Amino acid sequence: MTTKESSSLFDADKKLTFLLLCLTSIVLLFIKKGFIEYETAAFEFLQDRPEGTILRIISALQFVSIPLIYLWKFTVIAFVIWIGCFMFGYRVTYSQCWGVTIVSEFIFVVPELLKIGWFLFIQTDPNYYEIRAFYPLSFINLVDYYAIDPRYAYPLRALNIFEIGYWVLLVQGIHFLPGKKRKLCGSLY
């Protein structure tokens, strides 16, 4: 009798993976806020004013909300994938789908690292809008951020190479679990 040895990231402990992702996101947010956003002229101007305190409180809430947002995001995406697996006849559990979404989310650490590196070493004196508009390897870099309608800013930022990589990781994860074809995840998107 042979046993299947699996050494994939998709088999990692979900609690530890979730904790690692949350801690990584919090550290990256702390670096981005502390070394880039708080050093802009707008934050330096508001530093000693009441409005600056309100901005710092809102910023602190971002740190607390990271695990909650991730929980919600992973729950919804894993549910959609799990339903798709059920409809295609794949034998995977909801927990396995949840694990795949957590591991796949790690690809979004890369653009945050690129953003931090860009503003720390290349463009060292950005304004707040340049920080918000910058997203590496996305369509928003092809247009003038100030010239487009604000409602198109998020879709142009979301269309990027890392989103495609996220889909590929989801497909790989779902393919790894039951060992079937790769058509499921692509059809869900």
> Mean of the pLDDT values across residues 6-32?
88
Cβ contact 99:17 at 8 Å: yes
Which of the 8 DSSP states describes residue 4? -
- The pLDDT assigned to 188 comes to 53
- Is 138 strand, coil or helix? strand
Q: Are 29 and 58 in contact (CB under 8 A)?
A: no
pTM of the model: 0.82
* Mean pLDDT, the chain, whole residue set: 84
Determine the Cα angle at 79 with ends 151 and 24, to 5°: 70
Share of the chain above pLDDT 70, in %: 86
Q: Please give the Cα distance from 50 to 62 (Å, whole number).
A: 19
Reading the block at residue 60, the tokens are 């602190």
- DSSP label at residue 160: B
- Calculate the alpha carbon distances from 108 to 24, 28, 84, 111, 115 in Å: 11, 11, 24, 6, 11
CA dist., res. 94 & res. 87, Å (int): 13
Q: What is the pLDDT of residues 21-35, one digit of tens each?
A: 999 999 999 999 888
Q: How far is CA 152 from CA 111, 147, 162, in A?
A: 20, 11, 19
CA–CA distance, 115 with 138 (Å, rounded to integer):
12
Higher pLDDT, 118 or 130: 118
